[in-house]
Homo-oligomer: A and B are copies of this chain.
Amino acid sequence: MEAEAAVDYLVDERSKAQFDIDAMKIIWAGGKHEFEVSDRMARLVASDPVFRKDNRAILDRKELFKNTLRKAAHAWKRIIELRLSEQEASKLRFFVDEPAYTDLHWGMFIPVIKGQGTEEQRKKWLPMAYRMQIIGCYAQTELGHGSNVQGLETTATFDPELDEFVIHSPTLTSSKWWPGGLGRASTHAVVFARLITDGKDHGINGFIVQLRSLDDHLPLPGIIIGDIGMKFGNGAYNTMDNGFLRFDHVRIPRDQMLMRVKQVTREGKVVQSDVPWQLLYGTMVYVRQTIVADASCALSRAVCIATRYSAVRRQFGSQNGHETQVIDYRTQQSRLFPLLASAYAFRFVGEWLKWLYMDVTQRLQARDFSTLPEAHACTAGLKSLTTSVTADAIEECRKLCGGHGYLCSSGLPELFAVYVPACTYEGDNIVLLLQVARFLMKTVSQLGSGERPVGTTTYLLRLEHLLQCPCDVQGAEDWLKPDVVVQLFEARSARMTVACAKSLSKFSKPEDGFMDLSADLVSVATAHCQLIVVSKFVEKLQQDIPGEGVKQQLEALCSIYALSLLKKHLGDFLSTSCITSKQASLANDVLRSLYSQVRPNAIALVDAFNYTDHFLGSVLGRYDGNVYPKLYEEALKDPLNESVVPDGYHEYLQPVLKQRLRTARL
C-alpha cells in the first residue's frame, strides 16, 4: 500500500473560498468566547487516547458499556483536575460524543430537581448530584405508555401511618422502560407515578427514589432493574444502559415527592403550593431548546462529511484530465446544498430559542405567563421540525457518499443510528406537531377577541392582508429579497391555517374535526415552523455580520434554505395561490444559480464548523481528504481480517467445496 503523504487534498478547494473563514467560525460558534471554549475542549478530547472511539463498531455490548463507564469517569476526572467551568464541562462531554448515563444525570435528573423540587429538596439533593455522589436518571416512560404521560400506571400511594409513599408497579406494562442510565449506572431516579392519597388519584407527580445501595451498587429490596437490550446500530446508543424498572411496594419518605407545585401534607392532604404550575413547562422548554441546538450539530456533521467526500470523489466525465468531482453534479448539489443551508438555519434558530428560553424564564419569575403557550408551541414545533429533517438528512448524506457511506468507517451509519431517536424522545414528533396545530387553531379562533397573538404568531394580525396579498416576484432577482420571501412564507402559513380552521368549523364536535383532519393539521404546523426558521435566519442577517464575504455567503444560504423549501412544498404554495407556476419556475432557476455561487465556498463553509477529525469520526470526512489509504487502514482492523482463512472454514466451507456435506456435522 502506498505511503501516506502528509498533504492536504482539499487545499485547492480551500483556496477558492470567497469569505473570511475565521469570522464565519465565530458566527457558527455563537461568539468569540464560545468558539474558544469549544475549540479548546474539542482538542482536549481529540488528543486524549482514552476518548478514542474508532473501535466502537467492533466492541461487543459489555465491552462497549464498560468503555463508556471508563470514558465518563475519565471525563469527570479531567473536569475536576482542570477545574472546568460548567460550560466547559458540558462541551467536553459533548465532544466525547458517546451517549452515557451522565447525559441523563446532568441533562434531566438535575434540571428536574431544580425545576420541580422545593428549596429544601434542592438544598438536600443537588449538592450530592453536583458532586456525583449519587447518579440519577429520569424514569417516566413505561412499557405501555410513552406519549401519554397521563396514562402512566406506576403508583405512589401515601401511607399516613408511616408518613411514607409506597411505590409500586401494578402491571407488566407499568414497568418503567427506556430511561437512559437506569439499567446499570444510576443509584437514584426521579420516578413519575400516580399520586394516590386516601384512595384518590391525584395524577402524575415526580418522586426521588433510591434504586441501588451506595455500598455495593446492588438494587434495593423490592426493586428489579435491567437493561432493555440492544438498540439500533453499531456502537451508537448501545453505550447507554436504557433500562427497565419494577417496584414491589417500595417505601420512600414523604419528603422525596417533588413538591414545588403540588404538595402532600403530613395528614395526606394534597395542596397546591403558591408556585404556579406553569413553571413546570420551563423545564420542557429548556430541554427541547437543547435538542434543537443538537440538531444543528448532528446535521452539520453529516453535511461536513458528505461535502468533503463529494469534493474528493470523482466519477465520470472529465475536467482537465481528471474525472468530475461528484460535488460538481447538479443532482449532488441539489441534494447537498439545501442540507448545508439547513445546518446554518437550524444553528441560528437554535440560538434564538436559547434567547427565548431565557426570556420565558424571566417572565415566569415575574409571573408573566402571557408568552408561555407561544414559547411552548415554538419549542415543540422546532424540536419536531429540526429533528425530523436532521434524521432524514444524515441518511441522505450517507447516500451522497455512494457505497463507501455504508461502511461504519464513514461515520454516517452510527451518526444516523444514534440520532434518530431524537424524533421520538422528548415528545414524538407527530404528537408535538399536533400540539402546535392546536395552538394555531386556538390563536386564529381568538383573533377577533381580546387575545393578541404574540411572538412568532404576530403575523396572524395581518391575516386579512396575508390572505390576499400577491407575491411580489417579477424577475428572478426578486426571489433574493428577504422581505418577499418572509411574506410569502407568512402567507402560505396563514392561508393553510385559515383553510384548516374553516374545515374544522364544519364539524359539530370540534374534537371529531380535530381527529379527522389531523393529517392536514400536521401540514399546517409544519408550514408555521418553517416560517419561523426562515424568518429567524433573515433576522440574523439583519444584525451586524463582521468578516469579509461572510454575510454574502449566509445570504446565499438563507435563500437556498427558503427556496428549496418552496420547491419541496410547492403544492402548498400553489394550492393556496401564494405564487404562480411562472414564479415557481423562476425560483427553480434562482436555486440553480445559488448552487453555483455556493459551490466554490462549500468546503470552507463546512470547515467553519471547526470539527476535529476525532469528533467527525469519519474517514470520508477527513480534513485532509486523504480518504483511500485510510479506508484500507480501517478495514484492516476488522477482526475478520485476523486470519486469512476464516474461522469456520473447516466445519462449514470445506465440506461444501469437497462435496462432503452428507457426512458433515453442522
Mark the stretch among A31-39, A424-432, A441-449, A537-545 that contacts chain B.
A424-432
Collect the chain B residues with CB atoms within 8 Å of residue A231's CB: 406-408, 413
Does A585 sit within 8 A of B, measured CB to CB? yes
Chain A 147-175 near chain B by CB (<8 Å), digits 1 or 0: 11001000000000000000000001101
Proximity bits, A483-519, B CB within 8 Å = 1, else 0: 0000000000000000000000000000000011111
Q: How many copies of the shown chain assemble into the complex?
A: 2
A423, A646, A649 interface centre (most CB from chain B within 10 Å): A646
The answer on a CB contact under 8 Å between B323 and A148 is yes
Binds B, one of A112-120, A261-269, A457-465, A635-643: A635-643
- Encode contact with B along A376-408: 1 for CB under 8 Å, 0 otherwise: 000000000000000110010011001101111
User: Which B residues are CB-close (under 8 A) to A395?
Assistant: 391, 395, 420
Q: Which residues of B contact A84 (CB under 8 A)?
A: none
The verdict on A132 contacting chain B, using a C-beta distance below 8 Å, is yes
Q: Which residues of chain B are near A572, meaning CB under 8 Å?
A: 570
- A434 interface contact, C-beta 8 A: yes
Interface status of A58 (Cβ within 8 A of chain B): yes
Q: Is A657's CB under 8 angstroms from B187's CB?
A: yes
Query: Are A230 and B424 in contact, CB atoms less than 8 angstroms apart?
Result: no
Q: How far is the CB of A569 from chain B (nearest CB, A)?
A: 7
Cβ–Cβ < 8 Å partners of A7 in chain B? none
Within 8 Å CB of A329, what residues of B? Answer: 515, 518
> Is A275 an interface residue when CB atoms closer than 8 A count as contact?
no
Using Cβ atoms and an 8 Å threshold, which residues of chain B touch A406? Answer: 231-232, 237, 420-421, 424
Partner of A666, one of B73, B391, B649, B657: B73
Interface of A is mostly: helix
Residue contacts A-B, CB under 8 angstroms, 14 given: A61-B639, A73-B661, A76-B656, A144-B628, A185-B646, A187-B657, A227-B640, A228-B631, A233-B417, A330-B517, A398-B420, A406-B420, A570-B575, A575-B581
A21 interfacial by beta-carbon distance below 8 Å: no
A370 close to B (CB within 8 Å): no
Q: Please measure, in the bound complex, the distance between the C-alpha atom of A640 and the C-alpha atom of B421, giving whole angstroms.
A: 21
A77 part of interface (Cβ distance < 8 Å): yes
Which of A64-72, A285-293, A351-359 is found at the contact surface with chain B?
Answer: A64-72
In the complex, what's the smallest C-beta–C-beta distance from A527 to chain B, in angstroms?
13
Contacting residues, chain B, for A323 (C-beta < 8 A) = 148, 151
Which of B57, B334, B402, B638 interacts with A146 by CB under 8 Å? B402
Q: Which 5 A-B pairs have the closest CB atoms?
A: A570-B571, A232-B413, A66-B648, A69-B652, A334-B519
Q: Does A363 contact B (CB under 8 A)?
A: no
How far apart are the CA atoms of A231 and B151 in the complex, in Å?
40
Whether, in the assembled complex, A23 has its beta carbon less than 8 Å from a beta carbon of chain B, the answer is no
Rounded to whole Å, the gap between the CB of A98 and the closest CB of chain B is 13
Q: What residues of B have a CB within 8 angstroms of the CB of A87 in the complex? A: none
A62 near B647 with CB under 8 A, answer yes
Q: Is the pair A331, B409 in contact by a Cβ cutoff of 8 Å?
A: no
Contact of A234 among B146, B234, B644 (CB under 8 A): B234
Task: Give CA–CA (A214, B658) in the complex, Å.
Answer: 9
CB <8 Å contact, A585 and B574: no
Stretch from A88-96, A215-223, A249-257, A555-563 contacting the other chain = A215-223
With A76-B656, A635-B227 as contacts: A70 and B666 at CB distance below 8 Å? yes
Closest residue to A185 on the B side, CB-wise? B653
Q: What's the Cα separation between A148 and B316 when bound, in Å?
A: 6
Contact B577 A581 (CB under 8 A): yes
Closest to A517 in B: B330
Interface flag for A297 (CB, 8 Å) = no
**Chain B residue at minimal CB-CB distance from A595:** B519
Neighbouring B residues of A636 by C-beta, 8 Å = 226, 229
Q: Please give, as numbers and ranges, the residues of chain B lying within 8 Å of A69 by CB-CB distance.
A: 646, 648-649, 651-653
Report which of B76, B147, B629, B648 forms a contact with A172, defined as CB distance below 8 A: B629
Closest chain B residue to A570, Cβ basis = B571
In the bound complex, residues from chain B placing their C-beta under 8 Å from that of A141 are: 403
In contact, B402 and A132 (Cβ under 8 angstroms): no
Instruction: Tell me whether A664 is interfacial, beta carbon within 8 Å.
Output: yes
Could you say which residues of chain B place their CB within 8 Å of the CB of A227? 635, 638, 640-641
A652–B230 CB distance below 8 A: no
A70 touching B652, Cβ below 8 Å: yes
Tell me the minimal C-beta distance from A633 to chain B in angstroms: 10
The interface bits of chain A over 15-31 (1 if a CB of B lies within 8 angstroms of the residue's CB, else 0) are: 00000000000000000
| Max chain B Cβ within 10 angstroms of own Cβ: one of A66, A216, A335, A567 | A66
CA distance A520 to B666 in the complex (A): 54
**Minimal beta-carbon separation of A194 from chain B (angstroms):** 15
Is A632 on the interface with B (CB-CB < 8 A)?
yes
State the CA gap A537–B649 with chains docked (Å). Answer: 47
> Does B413 contact A417, Cβ atoms closer than 8 Å?
yes
Please determine whether A408 and B229 come into contact, CB atoms closer than 8 angstroms.
Answer: yes
For A315, list chain B residues within 8 Å (CB): 145-148, 151
Q: Which of B76, B228, B402, B584 has a CB less than 8 Å from the CB of A571?
A: B584
- Tell me the complex Cα distance, A191–B562, Å: 47
Q: Is the CB of A645 within 8 A of B217?
A: yes
Q: Are A230 and B57 in contact (CB under 8 A)?
A: yes
Look across to chain B and name the residue whose beta carbon is closest to the beta carbon of A238. Answer: B234
Does A124 have its Cβ within 8 Å of any Cβ on chain B?
Answer: no
Q: Is the CB of A635 within 8 A of B74?
A: no
Distance in angstroms between the alpha carbons of A50 and B131 in the assembled complex: 51
| A40 surroundings in chain B (CB, below 8 A) | none
Is the pair B571, A217 in contact by a Cβ cutoff of 8 Å? no
CA distance A315 to B427 in the complex (A): 13
Contacts of A133 in B (CB 8 A): 657, 659
Cβ contacts under 8 Å, A391 to chain B: 395
- A392 cross-chain contacts in B, Cβ below 8 A: 392
Name the residue of chain B whose CB is nearest to the CB of A101. B653
- Are A217 and B654 interface neighbours, CB within 8 A? yes
B residues in contact with A635, CB < 8 Å: 226-229, 244
